[in-house]
């Protein structure tokens, strides 16, 4: 029997009339085209007014660098339909299209249309064009020859984004907007170019790379500690326990239920003693209650979103009638930031901003009326909700991050958000929302996370096991077998559904879960290195297989197998004859029994790579690099190379040189492979002190030795 989560209340069908009439469309001239970076061009149409359409996606306004090269081919067309601005780009024949952020359906987006209107979509369908929780007006095209381009439509207005084999087009309901086009020699270079425009995710604490466990909801407080203790007793690695809305007092944000969570500081203390961190949910809606301090102070400061006639807007949300901060308004931003001081004083580690599309239950479109009014301020002009709806969650997590940094400037914030916008990786990580316990959602989670990565959000994942409905043992075992490799790896379950902790399905799945998570924790040094790369140049942690060879057309639509970084190929147990990259890829065993366990994804190591690994630990507070083990797979020339980044795992001292970035090389000489430390940057001292175990993975077997990397380690084959 399937149970519908009370959190979603009703799984509704979101249907709209066509957004755009074809009554009157006219071409709009380009008034300016200019280079603003390495193979990055900016195009401005007639009628564009920067003061009326602020950019949220662009991190820092790029410097203009001169005219377009004479051979520049990618020129957008600007049009206006009934006074509403559009832009399109004709694309070369045979182009493979990707992107659009959080979307359902296939990785390859040719022939797909999505609506850019952030919407609560519980148990969202597979490839039905229905909008999800985020908007990313961005698409990337990969030509037949492997070169690539990207187009960024710089508008937050409600819109429709469509891709055919001939063009990529965005039709907005707003005023004229800019377009940025990146044209480079590879899809990887285009993704890096996107990060040059929209910024990168900041480094998050290392504990956020660990496995995380959630439920709607773990309550009362002793149930939270019971879950934590069970992980430790069963020796299943885990770093974070999540608190959903039931910890609150009547769903009043920034409060704690006096009966079930009378001492939240003690809960966090007890989690910390056990090596756990905690993450707690904060929604945007404040209960309308004159005796409730958040609503009272918000009203006194006059920071709520207004209706079209200037009254405070209230809508039905979790606490009942609720008011919503106007995050376009600087005074509201400052007020919201101030609320985190007392909240974080309870020992809270991470923050979860949810239902921030915003979700509202008593309106026809399940969110604010489009004519609600936002006051703006600073560089944000006053405007309607039609313009600012898609960035409501974006501005909320920006304010949340700033509030956390105000209180704890010495630590790295970790914020998870459901709603966001292109460029929102600067403020928060994300997950794919209220999925279901089904094989369709299990399989679709791979292209969803890949597409988010190709759209600038390197740190995402799906709820392992599925949030809505009941999961069975086989589904959960298969899901955690590859879901352990999501960048953000969290199990989550809805109220009214069966328990979905790793031990909830019996010993077979418990053992499979332990193996899967031990594999993840062994790979922690590699994941952390990729996290640092993402924070530096925007490269996603989880990557499509076609990144291994962009010229191989057979890889363009592959969405079952995926890469972690450049060097690890993950093939889920459910994958049915996936298209895999050519060349040398050697299968790895990281944990005893992992190759024999039917639920585990296959892991293959790329020829020419060196991957740093640690040991099995139960949480990231434990030392991982004692010993450091380097997995080496030689290329056809008998060589390999790899890097490892490491630092304190929290704080910002790495910005002052307190980090270690090591480069390793391997070279075969006769029957001997010599592995050495080729370069080292930073002043951080890793716990292994340059000592390492080296395992050379060959077609004939595994050969290993240990020693000092500065002297070189010899491995006899």
Q: Which long-range contacts (CB under 8 A, 24 or more apart) does 696-699 make?
A: 696/632, 696/633, 696/634, 696/666, 697/586, 697/588, 697/605, 697/631, 697/632, 697/633, 698/586, 698/634, 699/586
Looking at residue 12, its pLDDT comes to 32
Where does the pLDDT of residue 127 fall: very low under 50, low under 70, confident under 90, or very high at 90 and above?
confident
- pLDDT digit string (tens) for 181-193? 999 999 999 999 9
CA atoms within 13 A on the CB side of 137: 30
> Is 271 a residue whose pLDDT tops 90?
yes
Q: For residues 397-404, give the mean pLDDT.
A: 98
Question: How far is the C-alpha of 182 from the C-alpha of 604, rounded, in Å?
Answer: 32
Q: For residues 278-295, give the mean pLDDT.
A: 98
- pLDDT digit string (tens) for 199-230? 999 999 999 999 999 999 999 999 999 999 99
Where does the pLDDT of residue 371 fall: very low under 50, low under 70, confident under 90, or very high at 90 and above?
very high
Looking at residue 14, its pLDDT comes to 34
> Is 58 a residue whose pLDDT tops 80?
yes
Checking DSSP bridges between strand 609-613 and strand 629-633, what pairing results, if any? antiparallel
Looking at residue 129, its pLDDT comes to 67
Q: Does the annotation mark 354 as catalytic? A: yes
Beta strands per DSSP E along 535-584: 542-543, 562-564, 568-571
End-to-end CA separation in angstroms for the chain: 57
Looking at residue 10, its pLDDT comes to 33
Question: How far is the C-alpha of 140 from the C-alpha of 161, rounded, in Å?
Answer: 13
Question: How far is the C-alpha of 221 from the C-alpha of 256, rounded, in Å?
Answer: 11
Q: Does the annotation mark 635 as catalytic? A: no
- Active-site residue, selected from the candidate residues 244, 434, 510, 647: 434
The CA distances from residue 171 to 31, 49, 79, 174, 314, in Å, are 19, 18, 9, 9, 30
Burial of 591 (0-12, 13-18, 19+ CB in 10 A): middle
Question: How far is the C-alpha of 463 from the C-alpha of 215, rounded, in Å?
Answer: 10
* Cα–chain center distance at 39: 26
- Active-site residue, selected from the candidate residues 354, 511, 518, 650: 354
Q: Does the annotation mark 501 as catalytic? A: no
Looking at residue 128, its pLDDT comes to 72
Residues 465 and 471 sit within 8 Å (Cβ to Cβ): yes
- Active-site residue, selected from the candidate residues 349, 357, 533, 566: 357
> Is 17 a residue whose pLDDT tops 50?
no
Looking at residue 572, its pLDDT comes to 99
Where does the pLDDT of residue 23 fall: very low under 50, low under 70, confident under 90, or very high at 90 and above?
low
Residues 6+ positions from 523 with CB-CB distance below 8 Å? 564, 568, 590, 611, 613, 614
Determine what percent of the chain is predicted with pLDDT higher than 90: 95
> Is 16 a residue whose pLDDT tops 70?
no
Where does the pLDDT of residue 130 fall: very low under 50, low under 70, confident under 90, or very high at 90 and above?
confident
- pLDDT digit string (tens) for 678-717? 999 999 999 999 999 999 999 999 999 999 999 999 999 9
Question: How far is the C-alpha of 452 from the C-alpha of 712, rounded, in Å?
Answer: 40
Q: 3-class DSSP state for residue 446?
A: helix
Looking at residue 125, its pLDDT comes to 84
Which structural domains are found in the chain, ordered by start? 25-185 (2.60.40.1760), 225-515 (3.20.20.80), 527-716 (2.60.40.1180)
Q: Compute the mean pLDDT over every residue in the chain, rounded to the nearest whole number.
A: 96
- pLDDT digit string (tens) for 25-41? 999 999 999 999 999 99
Residues 6+ positions from 594 with CB-CB distance below 8 Å? 515, 519, 600
Residues 6+ positions from 273 with CB-CB distance below 8 Å? none
42 phi and psi angles, rounded to 5 deg: -115, 135
């Amino acid at each position: 029997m399937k149970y519908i989560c009370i959190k979603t209340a009703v799984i509704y069908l979101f249907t709209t009339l066509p957004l755009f009439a074809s009554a009157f469309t006219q071409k709009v001239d380009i008034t300016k085209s200019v280079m603003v970076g390495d193979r990055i061009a900016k195009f401005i149409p007639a009628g564009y007014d920067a003061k009326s359409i602020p950019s949220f996606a662009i991190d820092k306004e790029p410097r203009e660098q001169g005219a377009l090269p004479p051979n520049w081919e990618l020129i957008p067309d600007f049009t206006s339909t009934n006074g509403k601005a559009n832009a399109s780009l004709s694309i070369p024949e045979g182009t493979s299209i990707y992107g659009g952020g959080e979307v359902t359906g296939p990785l390859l987006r040719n022939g797909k249309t999505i609506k850019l209107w952030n919407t609560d979509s519980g148990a969202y369908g597979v490839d039905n064009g229905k909008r999800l929780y985020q908007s990313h007006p961005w698409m990337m095209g990969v030509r037949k020859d492997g070169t690539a381009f990207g187009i960024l439509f710089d508008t937050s207005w409600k819109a429709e984004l469509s891709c055919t084999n001939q063009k990529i087009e965005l039709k907005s309901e707003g005023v004229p907007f800019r377009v940025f086009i990146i044209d480079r020699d590879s899809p990887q270079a285009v993704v890096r170019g996107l990060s040059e425009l929209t910024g990168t995710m900041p480094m998050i604490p290392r504990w956020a790379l660990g496995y995380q466990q959630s439920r709607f909801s773990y309550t009362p407080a002793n149930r939270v500690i019971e879950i934590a203790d069970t992980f430790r007793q069963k020796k299943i690695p885990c770093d974070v326990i999540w608190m959903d809305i039931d910890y609150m007092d009547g769903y009043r944000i920034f409060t704690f239920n006096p009966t079930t969570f009378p001492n939240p500081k003690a809960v966090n203390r007890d989690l910390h003693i056990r090596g756990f961190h905690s993450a707690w949910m904060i929604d945007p809606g404040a209960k309308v209650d004159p005796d409730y301090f958040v609503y009272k102070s918000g009203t006194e400061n006059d920071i709520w979103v207004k209706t079209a006639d200037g009254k405070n807007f209230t809508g039905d949300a979790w606490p009942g009638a609720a008011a919503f901060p106007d995050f376009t308004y600087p005074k509201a931003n400052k007020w919201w930031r101030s609320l985190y001081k007392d909240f974080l004083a309870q020992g809270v580690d991470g923050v979860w901003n949810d239902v921030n599309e915003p979700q509202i239950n008593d309106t026809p479109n399940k969110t604010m009326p489009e004519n609600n009014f936002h006051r703006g301020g600073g560089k944000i002009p006053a405007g309607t909700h039609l313009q600012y709806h898609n960035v409501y969650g974006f501005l909320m997590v920006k304010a949340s991050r700033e509030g956390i940094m105000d209180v704890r400037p010495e630590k790295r914030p970790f914020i998870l958000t459901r709603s966001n916008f292109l460029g929102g990786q600067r403020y928060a990580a994300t997950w794919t929302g209220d999925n279901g316990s089904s094989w369709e959602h299990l399989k679709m989670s791979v292209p969803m996370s890949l597409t988010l990565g190709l759209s600038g959000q390197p740190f995402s994942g799906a709820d392992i096991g599925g949030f809505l409905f009941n999961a069975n043992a086989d589904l959960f075992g298969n899901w955690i077998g590859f879901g352990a490799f999501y960048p953000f790896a969290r199990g989550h379950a809805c109220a009214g559904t069966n328990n979905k902790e790793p031990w909830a399905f019996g010993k077979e799945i418990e053992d499979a879960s332990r193996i899967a998570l031990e594999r993840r924790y062994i790979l922690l040094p590699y994941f952390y290195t990729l996290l640092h790369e993402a924070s530096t140049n925007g490269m996603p942690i989880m990557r499509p297989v076609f990144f291994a060879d962009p010229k191989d057309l057979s890889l363009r639509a592959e969405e079952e197998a995926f890469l972690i970084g450049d060097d690890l190929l993950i093939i889920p147990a459910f994958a049915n004859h996936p298209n895999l990259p050519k060349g040398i890829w050697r299968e790895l065993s990281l944990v005893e029994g992992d190759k024999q366990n039917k639920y585990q994804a296959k892991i293959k190591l790329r020829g020419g790579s060196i991957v740093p690994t640690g040991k099995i630990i139960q949480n990231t507070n434990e030392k991982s690099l004692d010993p450091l083990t380097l997995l080496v797979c030689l290329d056809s020339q008998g060589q390999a190379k790899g890097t490892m980044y490491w630092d304190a795992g929290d704080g910002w001292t790495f910005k002052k040189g307190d980090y270690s970035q090591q480069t390793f090389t391997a070279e075969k000489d006769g029957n001997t492979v010599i592995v050495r430390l080729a370069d080292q940057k930073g002043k951080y001292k890793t716990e292994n002190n340059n000592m390492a175990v080296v395992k050379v993975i060959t077609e004939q077997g595994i050969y290993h030795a240990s020693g000092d990397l500065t002297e070189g380690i010899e491995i006899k084959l």
